[in-house]
Chain A
């Protein structure tokens, strides 16, 4: 069946890409300057360091190291930090939720604002409001998320002291504080997304609003609001979802800088610190996880489209 063939192809490509990605990740890290063992034990002799390298398996041939790492990775063992011996899994358990919260809240906030805006501007396309919103969106896209974050931190944080500019509190421990800490970083990440989603939705909806089924609904006397939100919005939601998913890569990159700036203990910050301190193992795992997740998301979207729109021919 066409669908199975598509699925099959996607899966095969997925596996190949994953293997290449993990291999390249692993390889690239060997190129990073800095000696993690020297970081570990600055005041030590070369023999002592060699011993440590032996223990950690850093003297084994490259492919052996890669093989071991791959096996560990896919059995869920993400390795340990050289110095503290802390397991990367433990680190992830603490930092992954933070990053997911950051990205999730920003997507949610963005959609919350972008959907009504997109609908309204589509419905009232051509009016001043629409043109204004479009211009604003265009403008906001020109402001990088971390620059916006820093500006917010400068005024709302440092000067007017309205919101905290760094730190994090778990939701379970103190929900109010949790959200207070997340406001600035989430807003910073959300704004550009709002612009993107709004404009996408608008163009999609303008098209949809011309469709027959919409005219029919209108003719049947369905209220404009229902027409907009119940009928017209639906076909567009798929596109929105897709773009939200495709946005992941940008979001992850943006999250790294935002986390560093706002001192959020998320994966982005872990990566940043791991690079600075030559923590190869941890870094491999983090980056591989992100790459794998990203590839999977893209693949999922491919599959979603293949499933949902069989009219599409694939090259």
Chain B
């Protein structure tokens, strides 16, 4: 099933945005688009650091980032990576060198020119290299996750500097001329562009913002300056930023009208999902995103009644909600333990109850349109279709675990204070109790603390403190091999602490494989492998939903510069420059 929900082409036809569930408005381009007006966008969480090289944006931050920054390349609704700020991208035969030909005549919001020098500064910041003598006092930029990703050291983050001979990633970044940048790799890197998009996280910052200092209290975190359709009007406020139209934005729609249409976008934080939906109905918000079954159903009722538009993500590139388990220490370093918990957890019931019938049980890492996708009945995961049989098998696996280790199977699941999360864990706990497995729910902690402890585990510095299990949501689709970031041993975000040579081998090969089919086959192999070893308890596909009031149109917007369809709610990600209001 295609993930597309709009009409592409350069002609200005409008689309009625029918996404299966819930009615929608015009989502693509329209000749009726009017300029002006302001929208309020309610997001689920706050982002406090917009110094992108050092940040790790969640969806709430990515949506904002989409408004202020542009990326060198972008992902279309087909999952393809196409040029964006770069006019074209060339790559040599073995993918060890990429040449970016930049668009000319673009300026950052502060007037600085977007050119090769700026791009080089950005790439150096992301990869943790020295940006310029006057940036960070000539010291390497303090990025961490992206440093790992772009240098791609097989041993981990620290080894990027300590053992540079093991770096597979970026070797050099050079401005060839004013609008051409060349990036060379140590080893072939077939899916580099996918990571260069990073689900919208790798925005291009103005040199001024990079110079503002990434450190504490530095302006880089709080003053966003990009080339995007909107400028950061209320800097240094970043919790609820106000974006106002960039009059000099470089993009136009198919009729030559300059984008964006809107005068301003005001972001508001509302972690309570109920209240986000109520806000659409009550007129407090114009747009919001939803990722839980109950509120999505609420939004669908609204749109059925004609008072809202609801766009539910279709199968194709969805991310997953799941129980992330720590394979690096007891009890889950033991495969029997993992099998037992997987089988005892009633995934169908959890998905049904917690998501009100909206979501479906997932079959593994990759969704339907992503390479490496596995079908539900053939996914290598332990068979939990028959509840009684599954419970019995779980008990046996738990008994085997106890035989092997001498202690009964029990663990603690970490959670945040979000009511939905605790209820999901409560449900799981009851399921596991049926098989005699004891799961305790921790006193809630902050999301950042969970991540913190998980990173400690991944880096090896804080394995004891690392969570044994926690609820997580991740892995939106795109290029399948790009997921290696999460699973390669040594990665600072390998929270599941999967330290498996077969996984490493397959992913390292995949990232080098130029042929799409071959790469997809490798992805399929690693997907199957991880399922068979139950490295995670994949639970449900997340059908991200964008809900808007009935005055909002153009939520996906015009085609990308090369004509491809723009991201249409890829796990909540969409552009803001095509939005227009009808009265």
Contact = CB atoms under 8 A, between A and B. Distances in A.
Indicate if A touches B (C-beta under 8 A): yes
Interface of A: 34-35, 38-46, 48, 51-52, 55-56, 80, 82-86, 157-158, 161, 164-167, 263, 276-278
A43 B222 contact: no
B93 interface: no
Contacts of B449: 34-35, 38-39, 42
A83 B279 contact: no
B417 interface: yes
Contacts of A39: 446, 448-449, 452
B493 A43 contact: yes
Contacts, number: 90
Interface string B225-238: 00000000000111
Given A83-B49, A166-B275, A43 B455 contact: yes
B284 to A, nearest CB: 4
A52 B493 CA distance: 22
Contacts of A83: 48-49, 221
Given A43-B451, A166-B279, 4 more contacts: A42-B449, A43-B452, A83-B221, A166-B278
B282 A164 contact: yes
A157 B284 CA distance: 14
A161 B449 CA distance: 38
B575 to A, nearest CB: 25
Contact of B216 (A52, A161, A263): A52
A83 B279 CA distance: 28
A167 B217 CA distance: 30
Contact of B452 (A38, A52, A82, A157): A38
11 contacts: A40-B48, A42-B449, A42-B455, A83-B48, A85-B217, A85-B222, A161-B281, A164-B278, A165-B275, A167-B275, A263-B275
Contact of B272 (A40, A263, A276): A263
A166 B272 contact: yes
B372 interface: no
Nearest to B459: A45
B254 interface: no
B216 A84 contact: no
A42 B417 CA distance: 18
B218 to A, nearest CB: 8
B37 interface: no
B284 A84 contact: no
B282 A55 contact: no
Interface of B: 48-49, 54, 56, 142, 144-145, 215-218, 221-222, 236-239, 270, 272, 275, 278-279, 281-282, 284, 417, 445-446, 448-449, 451-452, 455, 461, 492-493
For chain B, what secondary structure do more than half of its interface residues adopt (helix, strand, loop), or is it mixed? loop
B216 A56 contact: yes
A263 B215 CA distance: 32
A12 B461 CA distance: 53
Nearest to B143: A43
Q: Which interface residue of B217, B218, B237 has the most chain A CB atoms within 10 A?
A: B217
Nearest to B417: A276
Contact of B270 (A40, A84, A158, A263): A263
B275 A84 contact: no
Contacts of B493: 43
B448 A38 contact: yes
A84 B492 contact: no
Nearest to A82: B216
A42 B452 CA distance: 4
A86 B236 contact: yes
Contacts of A51: 215
A86 B240 CA distance: 12
A48 B221 CA distance: 16
Contacts of A166: 270, 272, 275, 278-279, 284
Nearest to A54: B216
Contacts of A46: 461
Given A80-B217, A86-B236, A165 B278 contact: yes
A161 B277 CA distance: 13
Contacts of B49: 40, 83
A46 B461 CA distance: 10
Contacts of A80: 217
A83 B214 CA distance: 11
A55 B446 contact: no
Nearest to A168: B284
A84 B282 contact: no
Contacts of B217: 55, 80, 85
Contacts of B239: 84, 86
A263 B275 CA distance: 9
Contacts of B445: 34
A162 to B, nearest CB: 11
B216 A55 contact: yes
B400 to A, nearest CB: 36
A55 to B, nearest CB: 5
B313 to A, nearest CB: 26
Given A38-B449, A56-B216, A43 B272 contact: no
Contact of A84 (B221, B448, B461): B221
B418 to A, nearest CB: 11
A84 B238 contact: yes
Contacts of A278: 446
B272 A34 contact: no
Nearest to B279: A167
Contacts of B237: 84, 86
A58 B493 CA distance: 28
Contacts of B54: 41
Contacts of B452: 38-39, 42-43
Contacts of B222: 84-86
A165 B56 CA distance: 33
A165 to B, nearest CB: 6
A167 B221 contact: no
A48 B142 contact: yes
A38 B142 CA distance: 16
A84 B48 CA distance: 5
Contacts of A42: 56, 448-449, 451-452, 455
B236 A43 contact: no
Contact of B284 (A35, A52, A167): A167
A103 B208 CA distance: 44
B301 to A, nearest CB: 13
Given A34-B449, A83-B48, A55 B215 contact: yes
Contacts of A263: 270, 272, 275
A263 B271 CA distance: 10
Contacts of B281: 161
Contacts of B417: 276
Contacts of A164: 278, 282, 284
Contact of A167 (B145, B218, B282, B461): B282
A39 B452 CA distance: 8
